[in-house]
Structures are given as C-alpha cells and as structure tokens.
Amino acid sequence: MRLSDMLTEYIMDMINETGDAEIKRNELANHFGCVPSQINYVLTSRFTPEQGYIVESRRGGGGYIRITRVNTDKSASLMHIVNSVGNSLDRMTAEVMINNLLAVNAINADTARLLASALSDRALSPVEPRGRDIVRASIFKNMILNLTGR
C-alpha cells in the first residue's frame, strides 16, 4: 500500500470514528516517517470540497488541521457532483468522484461499478484520446442527473 493511501485510510478511520479528524501535520508526518508536505498532498488531493470534505487549519504552536465530512442528502450530493464537473473530466477524477458518492451512500456498489465501466478509457476507446475527457464529462453528468430523477 502506498504512503498516500495509508495516510488517507488513517484519516478516514478518524473521521468515521468521531465525525471529523483533527491532526497535527508534523506529528502525523513523524508517525508515518514522512515529510509534512506528503500530508499536504493527501489533504489537497483526497479531502477536497468536491469530494465532500471541509479542511480547516489553525497555524501556530497549538495549530491543527481539522477535516470534516459534509453530511448532505443523496440528491444534494449528486447535484454537487454534477455542478463541480466542468466541460472535461479525466478518468482519475471520475473515479474519485464515484468513490466519494459510494462512501456517502449516494450510490450503491453496483451503480459505482456501472459508472466506472461507462467512464473507463476502454469504453471510450472509439473516441480520440484528446476528446475522451470531454465525452466522459458529458456521460458522467447525464448519468448522475438520471440518478437524481431530473
């Protein structure tokens, strides 16, 4: 397992236990034997508002970083995802969004697999590589809108 995955899992466990995670970046870096910038990378790539998280930080000697999962209903989560997708969507971002929807129970595992399959590079192979992200965004938004009943 990669370090960023271990850090994510550790933080997610904290969030699942108490509803949020309060960490000290340097202490967490020491615990995992990494540099503090690795913690920053995980926070900025895996705990974003688009993924349903609020990250607050307080600087100084007693400083901390608090990560909170935003609790919304299924329809609001789905519409938030639709609104956050622009005209283009790369495969990795699509996978993160699908996993986030799954994590907040906005979709079930079967729906997640169908979404991932429809948005895969394999499914989009007839489309020129530079056009795939545009087609992927359109398909994703339409599928999510269908789930909301709109």
Looking at the structure, tell me whether residues 65 and 79 fall in a common domain: no
Pick from 4-8, 38-42, 55-59, 128-132: least confident: 55-59
| pLDDT at residue 62, as a whole number | 61
CATH assignment at residue 29: 3.30.56.130
Looking at the structure, tell me whether residues 58 and 96 fall in a common domain: no
CATH assignment at residue 90: 1.10.1200
Q: Token pair of 8, please?
A: 């994510």
Looking at the structure, tell me whether residues 87 and 51 fall in a common domain: no
- The domain boundary, picked from 51, 69, 87, lies at 69
List, for residues 26-54, the tens digit of each pLDDT value.
899 999 999 988 988 888 888 887 677 88
Look up the domain containing 90 and give its range.
Answer: 74-148
Instruction: Give the residue carrying structure tokens 């056009």.
Output: 131
Looking at the structure, tell me whether residues 63 and 86 fall in a common domain: no
Pick from 19-28, 46-55, 69-78, 86-95: least confident: 69-78
For the chain, how many residues are written?
150
What whole-number distance in Å separates Cα of residue 7 and Cα of residue 25? 11
